Amino acid sequence: MENSNSKEEDSWYDIALYDKKTGNFAEALKACNQILSINDNYTKVWILLCILHQKMGNDAKALEALNKINDFDITENEYWIEIALEFKKKNDLLNVVKALENSLEFNDQKKESLTELAGVYEDLEIYDKAYTFYKTALNMDPLDMDLLNKIGTIYDNAKETANSRKKKKKKKK
């Protein structure tokens, strides 16, 4: 991430965050654009732009910002998780996976990233990957009943899916 931002850039960033928190997304965008006119490599601003555009329903611009973010070396999981959660609200599972996988590149022991990613794979009915991520998260907290329940649900869903496939094959014959 960037190391040396000017006080002016940091002030504009604080304004943008405040505007985002108060729901004034248009003003937050203006503040972000002001920062980018000074420093186009201010990583946190691109992250904020991605989130703002998602909240405003401008998926194309959010994706554009996400692509710019991918050019940076972002090592903080929380940014990627926040981006993933915004994409999840829009049911954009491909970008959720992309953001969460980026988050895990820097810390593969982040339980929140693991469980979110497992949930996406579960939604996509890719149960083997969902199981792998839930199991990794469970290894961090073996007494997490929610994770144990999710793993049980995956077993049930995987069996149900396998049985459905068998029935379809029999009908085709």
Which residue has 């108060």 as its token pair? 22
Q: What φ, ψ does residue 65 adopt, rounded to 5°?
A: -65, -40
Q: Among 25, 57, 91, which residue terminates a domain?
A: 91
pLDDT one-digit tens code per residue, 113-170: 899 899 999 988 899 999 999 999 999 989 999 999 999 999 888 888 777 777 777 7
pLDDT digits (tens, 9 = 90+) for 47-59: 889 889 988 988 8
Give the total number of structural domains in the chain.
2
The verdict on 86 and 49 lying in the same domain is: yes
80: its two tokens = 């990627």
Task: State whether the Cα torsion 102-103-108-114 is positive or negative.
Answer: negative
CA 43 to chain centroid: 16
Identify whether 102 is part of a domain: no
Q: How many CB atoms lie within 10 A of CB 48?
A: 25
- Tell whether 100 is covered by a domain: no
Q: In terms of domains, do 87 and 143 share one?
A: no
